Every structure is written in C-alpha cells, then in structure tokens.
Amino acid sequence: MTAQTPAALYPDHLDTLAARATAALERGGFDHLVVPSGTLHYQVFDDRDYPYAVNPQFKAWVPLVRNPGSWLVFTPGAKPRLVYLQPRDYWHVVPEAPSGYWVDHFDVKVVRNPDDALQHLPRNATRCAILGEPQSALGRYGAFAPNNPQPVLDYLDYHRAYKTPYELAMMREATRRAVRGHRAAERAFRAGASEFGIHLAYCQAVGQDANELPYGNIVALNGHGAVLHYTELDRVPPKPVRSFLLDAGASHGGYAADITRTHAADRGGEFQAFIDAVERAELALCDEVRAGVDYRRIHLDAHQRLAGILQEFGIIRCGAEEAVATGLSSSFFPHGIGHGLGLQVHDVAGFAASDAGGTIDKPEGHPYLRLTRELAPGMVVTIEPGLYFADMLLEELQAGDNARRVDWDRVEAFRPYGGVRIEDNVVCTDDGPVNLTREEFAATA
C-alpha cells in the first residue's frame, strides 16, 4: 500500500477511468460518455427537498458529492469536460468555484443555470451514452435524457470493483474517520449514553452528519442488536445496559467505509466471550480474502464457523455440519458474509459474470448474499459475520423441525443481548489480504 497523496495518485486513476470509458463506449457503439451529477428531489405536495444523493457514475470521476445540476463529458482522446453548475442564488450557499488536485485535469465550464449545461454537451445526443436518472433530462423534449445503455453500464460497473490506488487512498481516509467515530461511540456507550447520544458522539467525532455518512448509522443497545438494520435511535438508554452493536461508516471523496463492532457492558461476562469467538471467526474469514477465491466459499465457511460457535456455547445441540445442512445456522446468521464496497456501501455488480453481463448465482438457500464473484487484486469487500437472536426468526425456528436442535434456555439467556456483528473492510491484493479497518484501529490504538 502506498502513502502517496491523492494529488499524486489521481492522474493514474483518471487514466484508468478513461481507458474503461473508452472500452465501454465501444461496447455500446457510442462516441461520448455523458454523466449528469443528478438533481434535487422534492417531497410530495411540498417544497422541501430530500437529501441530495450524487450519481455514483459522476463521483467516480470527480470527488464532488454536493453539486446537483453538473455534468461530466468524456470523449475518447479528448480532455474530459466538467460542466459545473454554480447558480446565482441568495437563498442557499452557492458551491465554491471548483478547486483541488483534480481540477486541472478537466476542461471546466461553469454555468449559472441548469439549462445552460446543454451548450457544453455534445451536439448529437443520439451518439451519447448518458448515465443517470430520468429527472436529469435536459433540452427540448428531453433530448439529453439518460439512456443508460446496458453494455456500457455492464462494462463500467464490472470494472469498478477493481479499485485504483487513488480509490484505496480515499477509502483509507474514510476508514480513518469511521474508526475515530467508533472510538468516540464506545466511550459514549461506556458513559451510559442513549442510542441517540451515541449517534451524536459518533457524528461529532467523524465530522459528518447523517446525510454525509454512507448509510444510516445502526446504533443498537441490548435487544436492538438483533434487528439487522436498526435505525431508530432511542432517546433514553435501557436499564440495565448490556450490549452495544454499532454499524457505522464514513465517507471521503465519495468513497465509503462500513464498519461494525459489538461491545459488552460486562467485559468479563459470557457475552464478551461470545463476541470474542465471533471475532476469531471474523479474522479467519478476512484471511480468506485472496485472489482466485470464490466469495461464495467465504460465505459458506462463515456458516460453518458460526455454527461451531453456536455449538460451543450450547445454543444448538448438533454439530456445525448438521446445523448448516438443515438451514439451522441461517436462523442465527440470516444475512450474507458481506459485499463489495467503494463508491456505494453496497457496491454494484456483485453478481456480474463478466464485463459483458451475465449473473453468477447465489448458493441455494442463501438469498441475501450480495457478492458471488471470484476475488481479484484491487477488490475491496466487507467481511461481516454475525449471530443474532431475532424474535421473528426464533418464532419460525420454534415452529419448525429444527426446534429440537436448539437449547431454548440458552437462547433465552442470550436474547437480551440482541446479537453480535463484526465487520471489516478488506482489500484483495496479489499477496495477502490488507485489512483497512484493522490497520487503522491498530495505528490509533
């Protein structure tokens, strides 16, 4: 891993994007790639806008995440063009003039009105692959309406899984922020804060608010840890406080970190031992992130390891093999082992068989796995095993044949703690895995 600055890494990143875009345009039979940054969306019967979410195809080129109404134009062989909307507006803060290490690499055209972008787009819209949302359409009769050609998207999305050194540097910075937040959040938890209070401590330490974070913080005390995407943020802490599951990330330059840690209030108790066992499994699974490994294999190995933990703690009465074969392990580990990570927290093209399309199926009985591709250098994936005591899944379990394989007294003992998830972000390389999350926790210990 390199410690070069973004400015030093960006030119090669842009060259990679240009080469990919050139190949993608060839696939689709187009001359230009045109990417709107997106528009503001409004709430129904209201003049309030939703938080703006930039088009990921746009922020792949420039680290701009707060600039609706701008456009990127790439024509093979030419300097890429950025049409940058800087409206005249006294109601809102207007975006600054573009600045930073990336600006000189673009032919920048500043416009004051969204419609003025049109004069800087290629003449013939039919020769353009326009990637974006329908609302971005510009021109008479929506001539510049996104057409999202599948061959172009397939090519770009497939290759986006392989991060450039610039992108890895962005993800390291996102990780740095998120780890700072996780430390602050654990302190707040140990000081007795509510979920809401912990969330605020997290945002303060990261320096980002809910709309800047790559996904809604999951701040779960006690039984709430069993809800996989719990985002309620209770204002009052429970009594007693037993456990804390935090799944929270951070963004940098448009790239995401996605980190989960689980803590026990009693560091000497059985739930802490349960967390430690999941952590050992998680580290072993992170070590499987190597070139040539089928990610589905890691998912299935996770089931074996987690079922072993359920047996070790007396929660199930059968061996790991049987627990996996009968589907019992899925009652406690009901999600996938992870996903690709990058411009989006659940990055695209997780099932892509090739850059020309096609799908790699999920293993049968594992509908929630988000990534089925073979790992290759440059890919960044999450590894996030978990064990949960979720009311709905336990009810279903109790009603089925697997009920006899469960020690229900042990389930009741663990249920008030909710669950455990531990999640790291790992880079596949030519050598061993590089665990961005662990490296940052270790560097700041």
Comparing CB distances to ligand GLY, the nearer of 80 and 350 is 350
Render 57-91 in DSSP notation, one character per residue.
Answer: HHHTTSS-SS-TT-EEEE-TTS--EEEEE----SS
Compute the distance between CA of residue 182 and CA of residue 444 in angstroms, rounded to an integer: 12
Comparing CB distances to Mn ion, the nearer of 129 and 250 is 250
Comparing CB distances to Mn ion, the nearer of 67 and 217 is 217
Binding string to ligand GLY for residues 287 to 326, with x set by CB under 6 A, is what?
----------------------------------------
71-74 sheet: strands from edge to edge: 107-111, 81-85, 71-74, 32-36, 128-130
* Per CB under 6 A, 423 contacts ligand GLY: yes
Binding test (CB under 6 A) with ligand GLY, winner from 384, 389, 406, 424: 384
Comparing CB distances to Mn ion, the nearer of 68 and 214 is 214
DSSP H stretches of helix in 207-265: none
CB of 425 to Mn ion, least distance (A): 8
- Do the Cβ atoms of 242 and 267 come closer than 8 Å? no
Q: Out of Mn ion, ligand GLY, none, which partner does residue 136 contact, by CB within 5 to 8 A per kind?
A: none
Stretch 243-272 residues interacting with ligand GLY (CB under 6 A):
247, 258
Comparing CB distances to ligand GLY, the nearer of 330 and 382 is 382
CB of 255 to ligand GLY, least distance (A): 15
Comparing CB distances to ligand GLY, the nearer of 39 and 260 is 260
Bridge pairing between strands 255-264 and 71-74: unpaired
Comparing CB distances to ligand GLY, the nearer of 245 and 307 is 245
Distance, CA of 246 to chain centre: 15
* Per CB under 6 A, 282 contacts ligand GLY: no
* Per CB under 6 A, 157 contacts ligand GLY: no
Render 147-189 in DSSP notation, one character per residue.
Answer: ---HHHHHHHHHHHTB--HHHHHHHHHHHHHHHHHHHHHHHHH
* Per CB under 6 A, 215 contacts ligand GLY: yes
Task: Note every long-range contact of 135-138, with CB atoms under 8 Å and residues 24 or more positions apart, other chains counting.
Answer: 135/38, 135/39, 135/41, 136/36, 136/38, 136/39, 136/55, 138/36, 138/114
Question: Which amino acid makes up residue 310?
Answer: L
Compute the distance between CA of residue 215 and CA of residue 20 in angstroms, rounded to an integer: 28
Residue in 85, 76, 67 with CA at minimum distance from that of residue 33: 76
CB of 97 to Mn ion, least distance (A): 36
CB of 164 to Mn ion, least distance (A): 22
* Per CB under 6 A, 347 contacts ligand GLY: no
Compute the distance between CA of residue 247 and CA of residue 229 in angstroms, rounded to an integer: 9
Secondary structure of residue 310 in the 3-state scheme: helix
CB of 182 to ligand GLY, least distance (A): 13
CB of 304 to ligand GLY, least distance (A): 21
CA separation, residue 362 to residues 295, 299, 372 (Å): 10, 10, 6
CB of 247 to ligand GLY, least distance (A): 5
* Per CB under 6 A, 424 contacts ligand GLY: no
CA separation, residue 212 to residues 34, 42, 324, 373 (Å): 25, 19, 39, 29
The residue whose Cβ lies closest to ligand GLY is 247
- Do the Cβ atoms of 278 and 306 come closer than 8 Å? yes
Per CB under 5 A, residues contacting Mn ion are 247, 258, 260, 382, 423
CB of 296 to ligand GLY, least distance (A): 17
Comparing CB distances to ligand GLY, the nearer of 114 and 249 is 249
- Do the Cβ atoms of 85 and 114 come closer than 8 Å? yes
Q: Out of ligand GLY, Mn ion, none, which partner does residue 215 contact, by CB within 5 to 8 A per kind?
A: ligand GLY
Comparing CB distances to ligand GLY, the nearer of 247 and 288 is 247
In the complex, which residues of this chain contact ligand GLY (CB under 6 A)?
Answer: 215, 247, 258, 345, 384, 423
